[in-house]
């Protein structure tokens, strides 16, 4: 039976509902921290939090990581979450051929899907966008989420282009950060594309017009609240959903005063979680920025969640062998 628009968003979508665009952890020397990536992925996908992670996206500093590091992130995060959550690999770059190579590497590394942003800086025509997306979708058997964020790429994906892209069987979703609710409503009305909010402050408005969930930055620290927001909306508890939305306004703003990767890593450090520094051209938050972000977290009711120690090699061996004992020792404050 064909789903009505009212029922479509109530069916659990293929990618999940509450997803976080995960940072790429680095050590103090700026080198890839795969142990940190494993620990953070497990933390973010614990019960009641994220059911999907996007790796190698903008928040993952994809412009500053090598292809080999991107592949290592996918392998590590996929192994860490097991079947608890989907792992979506960001593979969109300015070159179609390079995007195809990244897509094929992601498929081999165990990704569950691909996220493809519009090519940045070169500002292709709509015909070029469609051919770019289709070529990448044809290159693997993985489902594809398109990412529409014109303020970063310099080009919006027109609604007619999305309508044409939706005809490809593997292009199934959109991460919407365009801020045009009318255009998004039109695309949802005329296609079967699954919509995700890609702009945290618009999470609730996009749910109200038919989005199924979020690809969030704030989900690093508040995925449980985002899940409650979505559940309240689905249950028709609009006042409670609006209350959570307003509660999160401070952290919605705080995470984006500086580049999101730097803000998220500062917030994770406050909670004892792995993230490390950012790589140039990004810079870490200064002391005044960290203080303001801390106030934003408190204003949104987000507690410190402290990990007293990173797991030892023995802890990891025990976990891998199936012996009891958590890999992460957690204390909630």
Cα–Cα distance measured from residue 275 to residue 49, given in angstroms and rounded to the nearest whole number: 18
> Dihedrals φ, ψ of 124, to 5°?
-70, 165
Average model confidence (pLDDT) across the chain:
90
Q: Name beta bridge partners: 89.
A: 55, 114
> Is residue 55 classed as helix, strand or coil in its secondary structure?
strand
Residue 304: per-residue pLDDT: 66
Which of 70, 175, 178, 265 is catalytic? The answer is 175
pLDDT digits (tens, 9 = 90+) for 17-52: 999 999 999 999 999 999 999 999 999 999 999 999
Cα–Cα distance measured from residue 31 to residue 21, given in angstroms and rounded to the nearest whole number: 20
Q: Please report, in range form, the residues annotated as the binding site.
A: 59, 215
Going from N- to C-terminal start, the domains of the chain cover: 13-246
Q: In the numeric block, which tokens belong to residue 213? A: 């969930």
- To the query of whether residue 147 is one of the catalytic residues in this protein, the response is yes
pLDDT digits (tens, 9 = 90+) for 152-197: 999 999 999 999 999 999 999 999 999 999 999 999 999 999 999 9
Q: Please report, in range form, the residues annotated as the binding site for pyruvate.
A: 59, 215
Q: In the numeric block, which tokens belong to residue 30? A: 């700026």
Instruction: For the domain covering 13-246, report its CATH number.
Output: 3.20.20.70
The model's confidence at residue 12, banded by pLDDT at 50, 70 and 90, is low
pLDDT digits (tens, 9 = 90+) for 204-241: 999 999 999 999 999 999 999 999 999 999 999 999 99
Which of 70, 147, 178, 265 is catalytic? The answer is 147
- To the query of whether residue 175 is one of the catalytic residues in this protein, the response is yes
């Amino acid at each position: 039976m064909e789903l009505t628009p009212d029922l479509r968003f109530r069916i659990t979508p293929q990618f999940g509902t509450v997803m976080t665009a995960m940072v790429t952890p680095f050590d103090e020397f700026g080198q890839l921290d795969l142990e940190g990536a494993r620990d953070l992925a497990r933390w973010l996908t614990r019960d009641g939090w994220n059911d999907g992670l996007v790796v190698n996206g903008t928040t993952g500093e994809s412009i500053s990581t090598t292809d080999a590091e991107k592949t290592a992130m996918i392998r590590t995060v996929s192994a860490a979450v097991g079947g608890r959550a989907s792992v979506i690999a960001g593979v969109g770059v300015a070159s179609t051929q390079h995007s195809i190579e990244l897509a094929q590497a992601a498929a081999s590394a165990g990704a569950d899907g691909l996220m493809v942003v519009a090519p940045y800086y070169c500002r292709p025509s709509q015909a070029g966008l469609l051919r770019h997306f289709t070529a990448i979708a044809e290159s693997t058997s993985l489902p594809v989420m398109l990412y529409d964020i014109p303020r970063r790429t310099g080009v919006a994906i027109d609604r007619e282009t999305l309508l044409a892209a939706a005809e490809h069987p593997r292009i199934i979703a959109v991460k919407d950060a365009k801020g045009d609710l009318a255009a998004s409503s039109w695309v949802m009305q005329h296609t079967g594309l699954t919509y995700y909010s890609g702009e945290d402050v618009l999470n609730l408005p996009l749910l109200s017009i038919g989005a199924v969930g979020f690809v969030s930055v704030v989900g690093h620290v508040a995925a449980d609240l985002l899940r409650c927001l979505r559940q309240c909306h689905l249950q028709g508890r609009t006042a409670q959903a609006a209350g959570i939305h307003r509660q999160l306004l401070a952290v919605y703003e705080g995470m984006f005063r500086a580049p999101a990767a730097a803000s998220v890593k500062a917030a994770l450090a406050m909670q004892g979680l792995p993230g490390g520094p950012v790589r140039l051209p990004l810079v870490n938050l200064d002391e005044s920025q960290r203080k303001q972000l801390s106030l934003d977290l408190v204003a949104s009711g987000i507690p410190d969640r402290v990990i007293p120690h990173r797991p030892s090699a023995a802890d990891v061996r025990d976990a891998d062998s199936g012996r009891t004992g958590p890999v992460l020792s957690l204390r909630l404050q």
